[in-house]
Amino acid sequence: MRALKFHAEPDFDPDVLSADLNPLRAGERLRLLNERFGGNLVASTSFGLQAAVMLHLISEHAPEIPVVFIDTGFHFPETYQYAEQLMGMLNLDLRVYQPTVSAARMQALWGNLWENGKEGADKYALLTKIEPMNRALTELGSDVWISGLRRSHSQTRADRGFAERQKKTLKVYPILDWADAQVDIYMHQNQLPPHPLAAQGYVTMGDWHSTSPASKDDAESSRFGGTKYECGLHLDSNTPDFQI
């Protein structure tokens, strides 16, 4: 069991951590986080198009960090297959969390929530993503959450710092400043397989019902018909019911 070295107290300044992380390489950032926060760390993955990069970095530099996969029940079959492929290659402590309401029950009670505008999409995100992630943070005793978000993903992420606070949780983004070309080079150099759907025109990856192929220049149109890009986890800190 990993020792608890440092809690991200509510008065801990994310800007200070961002400044510490800024000059470092991605692997060095992970090692610094592991040294500073130890057993309070958790990472998340969606096994999306570029998830292999963050997972490989964790495997190489801090494999003891638990990696949470939120299984919404609506991932593409290819995503589940890709997850199995990467898990067979990398040294990771994967923890799978699922909604307390099954996909069949959810649709029987509320229909296709993702088709019911912003209110439906928000309820869908709360049931399938936010609640399971909150449960993971609670059960794992983690208050420092590592994610593979990058500024180049979308306009909504362009101004993010390397660390930010979301209620009681400190969010940290070790590859925030990586460009797409850097991701491609890293995957090639480390012989990381692409997501199977990358060859079919997908430039982002989410649930099957709300993700579609698009051009790289118009990636934000690929989720929820262009009305909503964020997956439901990485939202503004002031979003109600966001994190514990």
Identify the CATH number of the domain in which residue 81 sits.
3.40.50.620
Q: Is residue 7 part of a domain?
A: no
- Residue 30 in any domain: the answer is yes
Does residue 234 belong to any structural domain of this protein? Answer: no
**108 in any annotated domain:** yes
The pLDDT of residue 7: 55
Has residue 147 been placed in a domain? yes
Task: List, for residues 165-184, the tens digit of each pLDDT value.
Answer: 988 899 999 999 999 999 99
Question: What value does the mean pLDDT of the chain take?
Answer: 85
Look at residue 222 and tell me whether its pLDDT is greater than 50: no
Confirm whether 239 is domain-assigned.
Answer: no
Residue 37: domain span: 14-226
Q: What is the pLDDT of residue 152?
A: 78
pLDDT exceeds cutoff 70 at 92: yes
Residues 205 and 199: their CA atoms lie apart, in Å, by 12
Does some domain include residue 156? yes
The arithmetic mean of pLDDT across residues 197-213, rounded, is 88
pLDDT at residue 153 in the model: 67
In a domain, 2, yes or no: no
Domain count for the chain: 1
Q: Which residues are catalytic?
A: 231
> Per-residue confidence at 5, pLDDT binned at 50, 70, 90?
very low
